Amino acid sequence: MSRYLVTGATGFLGSHLVTELRGAGHDVVALCRQGEAAALAAQGAEVRRGDVLDAASVRAAAAGCEGLFHCAGRVSRRREDAEVLYRTHVEGTKITLDACRDAGVKRVVLASTSGVVAVSRRPDDIRDETAPPPVDLIAGWPYYRSKLYAERAAFDRNGPGFEVVAVNPSILLGPGDVHGASTGDVVSFLERRLPFIPAGGLSFVDARDAAHGMVLAMEKGRPGERYLLGAANMSLDVFFHRLSRVSGVPAPALRLPRSIALAKAGAHLIERARKRLPIDLPVDPVSAEMGQHFWYLDATKARRELGWTPRDPVETLSDTVADLRARGVVWPQV
C-alpha cells in the first residue's frame, strides 16, 4: 500500500477520492485549511493543517508521501473572481508541486477540467486530448483560463523523478456535493428557477467515477499526459428532460435558439438586470453564454489506457437528485 497527500480533500471530488483511497487500504494525508475535517479523520485519513499557497505547510504534509493528488481549487463562473481563481489554481499549483518535489514526492495526479480543451461552438466538434485549447473561448471565462494555466504549470514540472499526470473530468454530478460547487444548476432546476433551456450541450461524469479515474491515473497514467473523463455528451435540452423524468420536475418550456450572439446579448441584459433589480436572478451572464456552447468530449483514451469505465449516467442523475433531497438542499415535490 502507498501513502498519498491529497489537497482539496474536503471538496466534492477530493472527498470521494479519500474514500476510494482508504477503501483500497492506502494511507492518506489530507491537507486542510480549516474545519470540516471530521469526516476525513473518521475514515482514517491523517489531517494536516495547511494551505496550497503555503509551501512550508505543504512540504511538511508531504513528508513520507509517494504521490500527490492535487484537487484543491475554487469553482466560480464570476468574472470578478479572476484574481482569486488565478492565485488558487495557478500559484497554488506551482507552490504545491514544488514543495512536494522538495519533500521527495515522485508522482502527481492533477485534477484539471475537460473545459481546457473540450468546448466548442459546434455540436459535431467532439474533442479528445489531442485537441488544442480553444483559447479564444477560454480567455473570456476566468475559471477555465486559470485551470489551463495551472495545467501548463504542472506539466512544466514533469520530468525524470517527478512525474505529472492530469485528469480532466467534465461536470461532476452524483451524491456528496456538500458545498454546492458542481450541482448548483441541478438545484436551480429542481427548484424551478431556470427560466429557459440554453441551446448548447454538456458532458458530465459521476464524481465517484472521476475519483476512481484519478486513482487509475496514479497507477497507470503516462507522465505528461492528460486524460478526459466524461460519461455522457448530451444537449442541455436532453439533459434537463432526463433530469425531469428522474425527478418529476417539469423542464422549462422556453428554449433558446442556437446563437452565440444572442447568448452574449442575453448575458449583457442579465448583467444589467442583476445590477438594477433587488432580486437574485437564477442565471448569471457567464452561465448564459457558456450554455450556448458544446462541451462534448471523447473519453476513449482513459478507457483504453487506464481501464476506466463510468457508470450509467441515469444512475448518476438519480443519485444526485436523491442526495440533494435527502440532505434538504431541495424539498421533494408534493
Q: Which three cell numbers stand for residue 83?
A: 484574481
Residue with cell 514540472: 157
For the question of residue 147 being annotated catalytic, the response is yes
d(CA 18, CA 9): 7
Residue with cell 479564444: 136
Three-class SS of the chain? CCEEEEECCCCHHHHHHHHHHHHCCCEEEEEECCCCCHHHHHCCCEEEECCCCCHHHHHHHHCCCCEEEECCCCCCCCHHHHHHHHHHHHHHHHHHHHHHHHCCCCEEEEECCHHHCCCECCCCCCECCCCCCCHHHHCCCHHHHHHHHHHHHHHHCCECCEEEEEEEECEEECCCCCCCCCCHHHHHHHCCCCCCECCCEEEEEEHHHHHHHHHHHHHHCCCCCEEEECCEEEEHHHHHHHHHHHHCCCCCCCECCCCHHHHHHHHHHHHHHHHHCCCCCCCCHHHHHHCCCECCECCHHHHHHHCCCCCCHHHHHHHHHHHHHHCCCCCCCC
The catalytically annotated residue of 94, 147, 220, 301 is: 147
Residue with cell 448569471: 284
Q: How far is CA 203 from the centre of its chain?
A: 11
Residue 152: CB partners within 8 Å, gap ≥ 6?
none
Dihedral sign computed on CA atoms, order 74, 164, 227, 32? negative
Cite the active site residues: 147
